Structure formats: C-alpha cells, structure tokens
Amino acid sequence: MVKKTDKLKQKLTDQYRMVVLNEETYEERFSFKLSRLNVYVFGGIFIIILILLTSLLIALTPLREYVPGYSSTSLKKKATELTYQLDSLKNVCQVNNTKLRAMISVIKGEERIDDYQNRVDSIHKSNQDIDKQSLYASQADSLFRQEVENQDRFNINTSQLSDMSTVLFAPVTGTITQGFNYEENHFATDIAIKKNTPIKAIADATVIFSEWSIDTGYVVLLDHGNNLLSVYKHNSQLFKKQGELVKSGEVIAIAGSEGELSTGTHLHFELWYNGYPIDPTNFMDFE
C-alpha cells in the first residue's frame, strides 16, 4: 500500500521539461518545467476563474435577461402596474354595469326612479372610504342638505352643459301633453304626434338598449357621450339594434301607442345627464 502511494506521488511530482524549438534551425526558443500536479492545480484554478467571470458577466449585464426563467426588474414593475390598472378597470366596469342594469329596469318600468336613485347612491357610497363615526351632522342639517341635493339634481341648466360640444335636436315636433315634473315622478316630456311619425336621434350616439317592454312598448336608449343619455318610449317599430351607431337626425323608430302605460300616440322622451333626469325643454323646442 505504501509503495502504491509513493508511486502515485512520484508520478504527480515528476518534472517534465517542455521545449519550444525553431522548426528549421532547431534553435531553442523557450522551455519550462511542469509536473502533473502543477497541471492539475493550474487547470483547476483556471476553470474556477472562468466560471466566476462568466457568472459575473451574466449577473451584471443585460445578458441575464436571456437566461430562461429570469424576469427583468422593468418587466416586474410593468406587470405590477398592469395588475393595479386591471383591478381598477374591473371596479369601474362593475359600477357601470350596475348602473346600466338599474337604468334598464327603470326604462322597462320594472323599477321606480326612487329605487334607481337609491341604487346609484349606494354604488357611489360603496366606493368611498368614509368614516361614518366621524360625521355628526344634525337632523336639521341633514334635511337641508337633502333639499339642496334634490334641487340641484333636477335643475340642470344650459350653463352646466356648456362644456359639451354636442348640439341637440328635437326628436319630433308636436304638442306637449305632459311636461317634466320630478315632484310627480314624471321624468320626461310627452309629445303628442301622429301615428307612424318618424322618431329621430337628437345627436350622434350609440344604441345601448333597443327592446320591447310591456309597460312602454318598444324602447330605445342612446348614449351620446359626455354622460348624456336619451330615451324614446311607446314606439311601434324600431330601426336600430343594440350596439349600432346612429347619426344626429337619423330615424331610429316609428311613433305609436305601444305599452300598457300609453294613453295615445305620443313620444315619451327622457334626457339624462350624469345619472340624473333633466327637463328636455331646456335644450330643445318640440313645438
């Protein structure tokens, strides 16, 4: 056993001379001595240094982004921002869908306007972080605030819509049989017209509702942008479907006396701004 160990040691430490000669003159250029042990040691050190340099090159340069499974800091930051934006969009879509369903229920006559307003108010309240314990308004203050809110809610005038670039045209011309009156929960203007009179869009819009209702017959709801909606009820025929685009003055329906709540051929016309009904006669002339 000792002889084998000595023999192995001898092989590792045996010196070898490496000489570099000129091929033509056989002149010695340079030479150096080596042993197997030196080769193993220097080779191992060289491999370790090569591995370290390669690791530093990948870690400290953009080359690391090409390594499978590695994600850059900018990509992580962008993914986080997109996650927050997606969450915000989900909340906005949820609120808008709830408002739209409530609006459609009002149009169909399945829900009263007071119930709709309560639902809209509850949506807004749910999106506000208000500490109710810190609010100590008196009963008189609450009643006064409610009165002011009700007045502002239905007294929208032309100056409040001055930032709108939309020009509104009357959908029909006829005799007004019942005007806008929020105290009686009549949030529309009824215009008596002849049967089969064309009903026209008051401005460029997108059709967001176009269906039949038992109480109000064929109903069309247009979205004109800038939080402005128009509603046309008691029609006998519809020419536009949900999702279609319409131009100002384009015929969208034919007047009739459809629906259980109709008392004769007329157009029940509603105008909504920022979720509140407004008097259409403030913006257009029907006669």
At 274 the pLDDT is 87
> Which pTM value belongs to this model?
0.49
Decide if 97 contacts 103 (C-beta within 8 A).
no
Would you say residue 5 has pLDDT above 70? yes
Decide if 194 contacts 250 (C-beta within 8 A).
no
3-state secondary structure of 172: coil
Q: How many helices (H) and strands (E) does the chain have?
A: 5, 12
Q: Which residues contact 287 (CB under 8 A, 6 or more apart)?
A: 173, 174, 175, 176
pLDDT tens by residue, 162-189:
445 567 889 999 999 999 988 888 899 9
Would you say residue 111 has pLDDT above 70? no
Residue 68, Cα to own-chain centre: how many angstroms? 33
Residue 25, phi then psi, degrees to nearest 5: -100, -10
Which has the higher per-residue pLDDT, 165 or 283? Answer: 283
As a whole-number percent, the residues of the chain with pLDDT over 70 amount to 74
Take residue 215 and report the two structure tokens written for it: 């109480």
